Amino acid sequence: MADHQQIITGFKLWHLALPVNARRDHGIGSVEHTVDIVVLRLTSEGGVSGYGEASPWVVFTGSAEASYAALDRYLRPLVVGRSLSEHAAIMDQAHSAVAHCTEAKAALDTALYDLRARLARLPVWALLGGRCRARIPLSCSIADPDFAKDLILMERLRADGVRIIKLKTGFKGHAFDMMRLERLRADYPEFDIRVDYNQGLHHDVALACVKDVAQFAPTFIEQPVKAHLHDVMARIRDSVEVPLLADESIFGPEDMARLDAIADGVSVKIMKTGGLARAQTVARIAAAKGRSAYGGDMFESGLAHLAGTHMIAATPEITLGCEFYQASYFLNEDILATPFPVEDGHVVVPDAPGLGAEVNEDMLAKYAVRVSE
Q: Quick one: pLDDT at residue 2?
A: 66
Flag whether pLDDT at 168 surpasses 90. yes
Q: Quick one: pLDDT at residue 346?
A: 98
Flag whether pLDDT at 33 surpasses 70. yes
Phi, psi at residue 162, to the nearest 5°? -70, 135
What's the whole-number mean pLDDT along residues 12-41? 96
34 by Cβ neighbours in 10 Å (0-12 / 13-18 / 19+) ranks as: middle
Q: Domain residue spans in the chain?
A: 3-121+361-372, 127-348
| Beta strand ranges found along the chain (DSSP E) | 8-19, 24-26, 29-31, 34-44, 49-54, 135-137, 139-142, 164-168, 192-196, 221-222, 244-246, 265-268, 292-295, 342-343, 346-348, 368-372
Percent of the chain with pLDDT over 70: 99
Flag whether pLDDT at 111 surpasses 60. yes
Q: Quick one: pLDDT at residue 4?
A: 76
CA–CA distance, 184 with 138 (Å, rounded to integer): 18
At 191, the pLDDT band (50, 70, 90 cuts) reads very high
CA–CA distance, 85 with 90 (Å, rounded to integer): 9
CA–CA distance, 99 with 299 (Å, rounded to integer): 22
pLDDT digits (tens, 9 = 90+) for 314-331: 999 999 999 999 999 999
CA–CA distance, 128 with 1 (Å, rounded to integer): 23
Neighbour tally for 254: CB within 10 Å:
11
Flag whether pLDDT at 3 surpasses 60. yes
Pick the CATH number of 3-121+361-372 from 3.40.50.970, 3.30.1490.20, 3.40.605.10, 3.30.390.10: 3.30.390.10
Query: What is the CATH number assigned to the segment(s) 127-348?
Result: 3.20.20.120
Q: Which residues partner with 266 through β-bridges?
A: 246, 293
pLDDT digits (tens, 9 = 90+) for 78-106: 999 999 999 999 999 999 999 999 999 99
Length of the chain equals 373
At 5, the pLDDT band (50, 70, 90 cuts) reads confident
> Which DSSP letter does residue 337 get?
S
